[in-house]
Chain A
Amino acid sequence: MRQLLIRLPMMVATLLVVSFLTFLLTTLLKGDPAVLILGPEGAQDPQAVAAVREDLRLDDPLPTRYVAWLGDAVSGDLGRSYRTGQSVTEAIGERLPVTLEIGVLAITIALAASIPLGTLSAFRAGGAADRVITGTSFGLLAVPSFMMAILLIWILAEWLGWLPATGWVRLTDDPVENLRTAIMPALALAIGECAVYTRLLRADMITTLQQDSITMARAKGIPTRRILFRHALRPSSFSLMTVVGLQVGAIIGGAVIVEQLFALPGIGRLLVDSILQRDLIMVQGVALVIAISFVVINFIVDLLYTVLDPRIRHGRAATA
């Protein structure tokens, strides 16, 4: 609770600075929103352009516009898109679940693969299995997600024809189809993550396995499988879990390319399209949402970090 009280003003300040900087930044962009709204033909009429600019208060000084935007934003109104006329809040509400689902699925896949692999690798550290796993994860780390995406489309969609190359079906519309459309983009993101997780878990697990409690358990004759998954996994997965937590914040960034290649209606694609098409008000809104999620997730991770691990609490007290 004390943590929250200290951090809250800090978080709000961060968001204010970030949103103002974004506001400033987007005004740098060339291109008149009025021309965007009216289209090349409509923009020929100077009166119409003036009317639209007036309506959007584009000629007001920057601070005035920022304060007006902020006032609306606090009440949940991020304005209406210059390009589509859609409410920005609604647009983000539509896109965010797509990106989140891909991200959560990617992390799930990565964990499901990396926990057994990392454990096996640590248990037989230096052995043949460990070498293969370590080598493979090194290789996979060097494959960018866009290469992976192109490769997956080529193999799974075009060659084997197992999955649709593009498209998105909402979870609420048809869960099976939803999974079929989500699995390839999730895989493209998951493979690199899996390599990271495997390596992290292997390292921590090796340390854990050298501890006295494990030696004791072994001496007592507890079966290996039980030692690994019941006794060693929990203490070894702490740093893994924290990285996974942080990763949630990275998803939005990581998904941009993948969403583009798989034609998914996610938040990353919305952001890129809006920047490229000069839909400044949409850029504003999306940037704010990304900043909020980053700040909040960082805070939660920090909080968990202190709450969960006594070593840290102790360490903080010592250094603070």
Chain B
Amino acid sequence: MGSVPTRRPRASRRLLWTLVAAGLIAAGCGGGDDDEAGSDGETTGATSDISEQGEPVAGGSITVGLEAETNNWLPGTGQFSNAGTSVAFAIYDPLMRRDANGEMQPYLAESIEPNADLTEWTLKLRPDITFHDDTPLNAQALKTIFDDYLKADGAVTAANLAEVEMVIVDDLTVTYQLSEPNSAFADELGLAIGWPFSPTAAAAAGDDAGSRPVGTGPFVFDSWERDNRLIVKKNPNYWQEGLPYLDEIVFRPIPDEDTRISSLETGDIDVLQTLRQSSGVRVRDLEGVDSYEQLGNITGVNIFNTTVPPLDDVRVREALARAVDQAQIIEIQGGTGVVPPSTQVFSEDDPYYSEAVADAWATYDPEAATELLDEYINDPARSDGKAAGEPVTFRYDCPPDPSLVDMAQLYQSFWGEIGAEVELRQVEQATHIDEAISGDYEAKCFRAGLDRDPLPTLEQAFSSTSGLNFTRFTDPAIDENLDALGTSTDIDERKALVEEISTIVNDGFPMTYHGSTLSVLGTQETVKGLAAWTFPEGAEGSGTSGATTMWGFVWTTG
């Protein structure tokens, strides 16, 4: 964790940190930040502006405002976004979590070891841990969860685990047996698959298990009014000595960005979660509010359906990429000075970020873009079957969020400048995703990346066998590199493989980028310790990555 000098006025009386999700590439990132910071007093990239922390105190209750409600809380049926994951870490403990260096480390688990060819992962549990209903957490519990819930018909997780079996070794040990090598399997166990819940409680609750979650976490589920509030109370028998500090947390979904910020301003809520850069900037400027920012490996992108004319022609896609000034897109999103332009899925703070890929990415060049597009337009054999000389037309879909609507209009204008006629369409999230899966679209605004290991991230997005390859962009070389990535644990080798994949992807222009996603937790100054969590063995955690935290470590002085 590096401390970056800053010229913000409040710096003198505040500790100002740059929290980095994964190892920082000092040459590439640190230096650049300082230069840009000088111009207008703002720091580019994620900064955290945090008051004196002091010593933890026990007791008190806080209210957390989230950007979305979660459909239900049972791993296997629940669909956990960042907001849902945040709540889950109060009730459940993840078997694995990412540490300050970006490595997956055991959290609820005691250890995890793969075999030599990465097809068998042996997981050991800590002894004497029980769920909130006193059911013991042991190998049998994990097996029941795995077989009866995570792999059940209709489970959200079933497709991911289709090729995985679990075998009990002893009372506290299980092995996950994979049908092919997967160097990033530990990564899965940081997600809902790796959040053990009491199988006895779930069986007893039947259809309602999703609304009465029972985990091993620092807080015990108390009550849930959908779309209003979920209350958790201190777990007096928590397995980590001395935790949690708080007596109670109230989670409130407030989907409207503006009202959520007002609620933090007026003190209705103590903590706010957001993934919108414009909201992040507004939170930064609030008096008496601490803000924790992180740039994750999620970036705003436009995805092009590479199987549908005219976007099946790489000249059109490259023209569209070169027609856009990313700085202006970030400006109207309110992210200037906060969000650096992106050139790949991985943010500048990530170990898999590649300078070479960044340098090779198409720069803003409207003339070159017009030329490329004209070449297509005047091509008698153009793929959309129109006569040479007729303008290129396509539809661009985006969800109806005000900041995205603004962005879509700016894109339309950029693309209009080079002669592409773009029809805008606002489309609800559910349809948006549905159409991306079925390929029933031309261009869409989306987020790319998963804030996870590059293997699942890239495999999902660009493997020829992935059902979530929305752009339909495939290349045998990508598949080969992905296979190699699955069998490699050497970081340098993996970086090289990822770089190769990113290069092939960027040369094909299946998507264009518009700035990394900034994840932000804003808190009243009285709420402390959001970035302070550690692993049971003492290793430093990944702070507030993805706008989540480990709630057991949070305390309040208010």
Q: Which residues of A contact B (CB under 8 A)?
A: 30-32, 35-45, 48, 51-52, 55, 80, 83-87, 91, 94, 153, 157-158, 161, 164-168, 170, 260-265, 269-270, 273, 276-278
B466: A residues at CB distance < 8 A: 44
Q: Are B262 and A43 in contact (CB under 8 A)?
A: no
Which of B149-157, B168-176, B299-307 binds A? B149-157
Closest to A159 in B: B266
Closest to B63 in A: A167
Q: Are B259 and A85 in contact (CB under 8 A)?
A: no
Closest to A266 in B: B227
A51→B154 CA distance, assembly (Å): 7
A276: B residues at CB distance < 8 A: 428-430
Q: In the complex, which of the residues B155, B256, B268, B431 contacts A167, with contact meaning CB atoms closer than 8 Å?
A: B268
Known A167-B263, A261-B259; contact A44-B467, beta-carbon cutoff 8 A: yes
B229: A residues at CB distance < 8 A: 167-168
Shortest Cβ-Cβ A-B pairs, 10 listed: A44-B467, A45-B159, A265-B228, A265-B227, A42-B156, A39-B156, A165-B262, A164-B268, A276-B428, A84-B71
Q: In the complex, which of the residues A41, A165, A269 contacts B259, with contact meaning CB atoms closer than 8 Å?
A: A165
A265→B286 CA distance, assembly (Å): 28
CB distance from B256 to the nearest CB of A (A): 6
Q: Does B19 contact A (CB under 8 A)?
A: no
Q: Does B207 contact A (CB under 8 A)?
A: yes
Interchain Cβ contacts within 8 Å, total number = 137
Q: In the complex, which of the residues A38, A158, A170, A277 contacts B429, with contact meaning CB atoms closer than 8 Å?
A: A277
B435: A residues at CB distance < 8 A: 30
Q: Are B156 and A41 in contact (CB under 8 A)?
A: yes
Q: Are B268 and A166 in contact (CB under 8 A)?
A: yes
A171→B437 CA distance, assembly (Å): 44
A273→B253 CA distance, assembly (Å): 13
Q: Does B401 contact A (CB under 8 A)?
A: no
A55: B residues at CB distance < 8 A: 154
With A48-B153, A157-B266 known, 15 other A-B pairs at CB within 8 A are A30-B434, A30-B435, A32-B434, A41-B159, A42-B158, A80-B207, A87-B207, A94-B226, A161-B266, A166-B260, A166-B262, A166-B263, A167-B268, A276-B430, A278-B434
Residue of A83, A165, A260, A264 most packed against chain B (CB within 10 A): A165
Tell me what chain B mostly uses at the interface: helix, strand, loop, or mixed: loop
A165→B227 CA distance, assembly (Å): 16
Closest to A260 in B: B256
A87: B residues at CB distance < 8 A: 207
Residue pairs across A and B with Cβ atoms less than 8 A apart, 8 shown, are A38-B154, A44-B159, A45-B159, A83-B71, A87-B207, A263-B259, A264-B228, A270-B227
Per-residue CB contact flags for chain B residues 248-287 toward chain A (1 = under 8 Å, else 0) read 0000111110011011011010000000000000000000
Closest to B228 in A: A265
Q: Are A48 and B158 in contact (CB under 8 A)?
A: yes
Q: Does B189 contact A (CB under 8 A)?
A: no
A14→B308 CA distance, assembly (Å): 46
Q: In the complex, which of the residues A31, A37, A39, A260 contacts B431, with contact meaning CB atoms closer than 8 Å?
A: A31
A26→B254 CA distance, assembly (Å): 27
A85: B residues at CB distance < 8 A: 71-72, 77, 207-208, 210-211
Closest to A165 in B: B262
Closest to A276 in B: B428
Q: Are A165 and B154 in contact (CB under 8 A)?
A: no
Closest to B428 in A: A276
Q: Are A43 and B211 in contact (CB under 8 A)?
A: no
Per-residue CB contact flags for chain B residues 39-75 toward chain A (1 = under 8 Å, else 0) read 0000000000000000000000000000000011000
Closest to B77 in A: A85
A44: B residues at CB distance < 8 A: 159, 466-468
Residue of B155, B160, B227, B435 most packed against chain A (CB within 10 A): B227
CB distance from B263 to the nearest CB of A (A): 5
B254: A residues at CB distance < 8 A: 166-167, 263
Q: Are A153 and B429 in contact (CB under 8 A)?
A: no
CB distance from B155 to the nearest CB of A (A): 7
Q: In the complex, which of the residues B160, B162, B226 contacts A84, with contact meaning CB atoms closer than 8 Å?
A: B226
Q: Does B225 contact A (CB under 8 A)?
A: yes
Q: Does B503 contact A (CB under 8 A)?
A: no
B506: A residues at CB distance < 8 A: none
CB distance from A183 to the nearest CB of B (A): 14
Q: Does B79 contact A (CB under 8 A)?
A: yes
A48: B residues at CB distance < 8 A: 153-155, 158-159
Closest to B435 in A: A30
Q: Are A157 and B225 in contact (CB under 8 A)?
A: no
A31→B434 CA distance, assembly (Å): 6
Q: Does B433 contact A (CB under 8 A)?
A: yes
Q: Are A42 and B207 in contact (CB under 8 A)?
A: no
Known A30-B431, A85-B77, A85-B210; contact A165-B266, beta-carbon cutoff 8 A: yes
A161: B residues at CB distance < 8 A: 266
A35: B residues at CB distance < 8 A: 433-434, 437
Closest to B399 in A: A276
A84: B residues at CB distance < 8 A: 71-72, 210, 226
Q: Are B256 and A261 in contact (CB under 8 A)?
A: yes
Per-residue CB contact flags for chain B residues 160-183 toward chain A (1 = under 8 Å, else 0) read 101000000000000000000000
Known A36-B430, A263-B259; contact A165-B268, beta-carbon cutoff 8 A: yes
Q: In the complex, which of the residues B207, B225, B430 contacts A170, with contact meaning CB atoms closer than 8 Å?
A: B225
A41→B77 CA distance, assembly (Å): 12
A79→B72 CA distance, assembly (Å): 16
A153→B226 CA distance, assembly (Å): 23
Q: In the complex, which of the residues B153, B226, B437 contacts A43, with contact meaning CB atoms closer than 8 Å?
A: B437
A30→B428 CA distance, assembly (Å): 11
A164: B residues at CB distance < 8 A: 263, 266, 268
CB distance from B398 to the nearest CB of A (A): 14
A277: B residues at CB distance < 8 A: 428-430
- In chain B, positions 408-433 with a C-beta closer than 8 Å to chain A are 428-431, 433
- In chain B, positions 199-230 with a C-beta closer than 8 Å to chain A are 207-208, 210-211, 225-229
Closest to B210 in A: A85
- In chain B, positions 55-112 with a C-beta closer than 8 Å to chain A are 71-72, 77, 79
CB distance from A43 to the nearest CB of B (A): 7
Q: Are B226 and A91 in contact (CB under 8 A)?
A: yes
